[in-house]
Structure 1
Amino acid sequence: MNRGIGLLVIATILWAGNYICGRYLGPALPPTFLNTMRWAISTVILIGILFLNKKKLPVFDLWKEFIILGFTGIFAFSTLTYLALTNISASQAGMISAGIPIAILFFTPIILKEKIGVNAWVGAVISIIGVFLLFQGRLEEGSSPNTLIGNIQVVLACLAWGLYTVLGKRYSKQADSLTLTAGAALFGTVFSAISCIGTVDVESIHMTGTAWLCLLYVSTFASVGAFLAWNVGVKIVGAGKSAPYLNLLPVWTVVFGLLLLNEEMSFLSWVGGTITIIGAVIASIIGKVSAKSKLGADASFNG
């Protein structure tokens, strides 16, 4: 059990690092091109792992599922996150991302037709209030309009991830999580590559030694490494008990943002972030979610 918990914690730390690297890579690569590079590398690694496990990627059999998952979880979520990190701090983005369990709650009854307990919805409302305060905290600081855009982009990223997670659970009867992730990564990379056409200026690419290291990190540790750690941890601990550990993601992101990027947050932002996390914890721990959904704990998170 302790080994499993350790793996879950490691996974959240690795995902939090993606937000930090996203800030470093902002001046080096356009967000769409960054996402394309990241998932092109990750796709090769994931398919390689499938090959080592003597599994094939059913591209033609599950192409519809892969397209949907690739668009929502790999292209939309990751691209929106990287776009947001060009406008707001990693700490701010991490705090708002605490609302991801709430997004999962929102889509669960719609797509999976599963009932969500009252306590879970109470947690959702609390988190929404916290996100509103996070928005207000930045606006009161006299930030540029780009700050509001960045906040909205993170919220949209959370919704994209909630949709991806719930759909991933729906498709889990057709393939295991590694196969679904590899297929989503493949098609998500294609979507990202298409989005680069006519939008990426070669002169906007400024890779440094640090940028290359960050790109290597997000393509391996933050994607494949975290995926493996999380899924092994879930198998040891159990899906239901694993879900709350996702709430560590915003905590690590803030810690790393403060220590590595010297970021600052207003008092109101701290209050809003704390309330958002508390709401998410209530929704994922106290909330009476049906045994089948478990807040999508058995689905991987791509940071």
Structure 2
Amino acid sequence: MPALLERMTGWVWSRPYLLLTFTALFWAGNSIAGRAARDVMPPVALAWWRWALAFLLLLPFAWPHLRRDFATLKTHWRWLLLLGALGIGTFNTLLYTGLQTTTAVNGLLLQSMRPALILMLGALVFGEYVRLPQVIGICLSITGALMIILGGDLSSLLELEFNSGDLVICVAVVVWSFYSVLLRKRPAVHPLSFLAATFVIGIVVIAPFYLAEIIDGRLIESSSESWMAIGYVCLFPSLIAYLFFNRGVELLGSAATGLYLNIMPVIGAMLAVFILSEPFRWFHLVGMSLIGAGIFSASRIARQSVEQSIPAAR
């Protein structure tokens, strides 16, 4: 039985698209939970407890690997600090903050800008060559995001009237894209060691903001909704999804992984409509179509590299 379980685990661990499908589902649920709990759970509190509890769940499994990898982690502490601060400490805090004042549908669809932004940042940070179809894709994706932010009303752009929640989520998406691109600099350690180390960094980064939130009188409301939200986000989108995502980047690279994860906003938008009864309007469809067209254009070259890499990954 243990041998069968080990073979099954190894099979799943070598299937990047299966891992990333679950990642997309769990992260879509993260936005749903953040929006649903906005009245009972302050955003920074949700972010801090998410990572604190996820770390406690992870620690017994990660501890042997942390002890073995400690020297390597210490050597690469600067990259760990940056990755933990971006991907753990900043992104989700901004996401939950944005979801206080915008809908889950908006938040999820805006996150579909990530593949185009990852391509753009890969060119800026690492000097990767960006071809014309990718430039067109980036422009289409940004146009689609603007359509969603403006609610289809172009006069809002001229009058500089924006939903603050949408803008906060846009910043969060840029932060996440930096995290995805910089993941290639992660130290060569066990995935659990890396995950535990970045969790600790994220917890420390969030702590001062959580303290300020408490001092400001924004406290967690003791209710079933609060504990259900914390329970979900600390296990599925934190512990499991980050482990799967990091493995996906390891097998496919950041651009291809970001491309595939664009199924997440589609899954999440459907969940928001059915679970939260949020409206899905015409400008959502137009924005999603533009973003989808941008991803199709930008991914033509990425798809070729993915197709070449899959046999090796299997």
Alignment TM-score, normalising by the size of structure 1: 0.83
For the 8 Å contact 1:100–1:159, the answer to whether it is kept is yes
Pair member with larger Rg: 2
**Distance of aligned partners of 1:146 and 1:38 in 2 relative to their CA distance in 1, 3 Å threshold:** farther
Q: Structure 1 residue 78: deviation in Å?
A: 0.8
| 133-142 or 99-108, larger mean C-alpha shift | 133-142
For the 8 Å contact 1:168–1:180, the answer to whether it is kept is no
Give the letter aligned to residue 51 of structure 2.
W
**Distance of aligned partners of 1:61 and 1:231 in 2 relative to their CA distance in 1, 3 Å threshold:** closer
**Distance of aligned partners of 1:194 and 1:21 in 2 relative to their CA distance in 1, 3 Å threshold:** same
Aligned match of 2:47 in 12, 35, 40? 35
For the 8 Å contact 2:69–2:189, the answer to whether it is kept is no
**Distance of aligned partners of 1:156 and 1:187 in 2 relative to their CA distance in 1, 3 Å threshold:** same
For the aligned residues, what is the CA RMSD? 3.0
Give the letter aligned to residue 227 of structure 1.
Y
For the 8 Å contact 1:77–1:160, the answer to whether it is kept is yes
In 2, Cα distance between the equivalents of 1:178 and 1:241?
A: 23
Percent identical across equivalent pairs?
24
Report whether the alignment pairs 1:104 with 2:118.
yes
Q: Structure 1 residue 238: deviation in Å?
A: 4.3
In 2, Cα distance between the equivalents of 1:66 and 1:48?
A: 21
**Distance of aligned partners of 1:125 and 1:241 in 2 relative to their CA distance in 1, 3 Å threshold:** closer
Q: Structure 1 residue 32: deviation in Å?
A: 1.2
| 9-18 or 43-52, larger mean C-alpha shift | 43-52
In 2, Cα distance between the equivalents of 1:66 and 1:28?
A: 33
**Distance of aligned partners of 1:250 and 1:60 in 2 relative to their CA distance in 1, 3 Å threshold:** same
| 256-265 or 67-76, larger mean C-alpha shift | 67-76
**Distance of aligned partners of 1:61 and 1:25 in 2 relative to their CA distance in 1, 3 Å threshold:** farther
Give the letter aligned to residue 24 of structure 2.
T
Residue of structure 2 equivalent to 1:274: 289
Report whether the alignment pairs 1:261 with 2:276.
yes
In 2, Cα distance between the equivalents of 1:234 and 1:198?
A: 35
Q: Structure 1 residue 222: deviation in Å?
A: 0.9
Query: Per residue, is there more helix in 1 or in 2?
Result: 2
Report whether the alignment pairs 1:78 with 2:92.
yes
Report whether the alignment pairs 1:10 with 2:37.
no
Residue of structure 2 equivalent to 1:95: 109
Give the letter aligned to residue 248 of structure 1.
I
Partner secondary structure for residue 213 of structure 2: coil
For the 8 Å contact 2:147–2:286, the answer to whether it is kept is yes
In 1, Cα distance between the equivalents of 2:257 and 2:88?
A: 22
Residue of structure 2 equivalent to 1:204: 219
Alignment TM-score, normalising by the size of structure 2: 0.80
In 1, Cα distance between the equivalents of 2:74 and 2:245?
A: 28
Partner secondary structure for residue 57 of structure 2: helix
| 183-192 or 105-114, larger mean C-alpha shift | 105-114
Give the letter aligned to residue 43 of structure 1.
F
Residue of structure 1 equivalent to 2:230: 215
**Distance of aligned partners of 1:176 and 1:267 in 2 relative to their CA distance in 1, 3 Å threshold:** same
**Distance of aligned partners of 1:268 and 1:119 in 2 relative to their CA distance in 1, 3 Å threshold:** same
| Structure 1: runs of 5+ lacking an equivalent | 295-303
In 1, Cα distance between the equivalents of 2:33 and 2:161?
A: 20
**Distance of aligned partners of 1:151 and 1:124 in 2 relative to their CA distance in 1, 3 Å threshold:** same
For the 8 Å contact 1:103–1:161, the answer to whether it is kept is no
For the 8 Å contact 2:42–2:218, the answer to whether it is kept is no
Residue-pair matches, total? 287
Q: Structure 1 residue 61: deviation in Å?
A: 3.0
Residue of structure 1 equivalent to 2:151: 137
Give the letter aligned to residue 263 of structure 1.
E
For the 8 Å contact 1:127–1:275, the answer to whether it is kept is yes
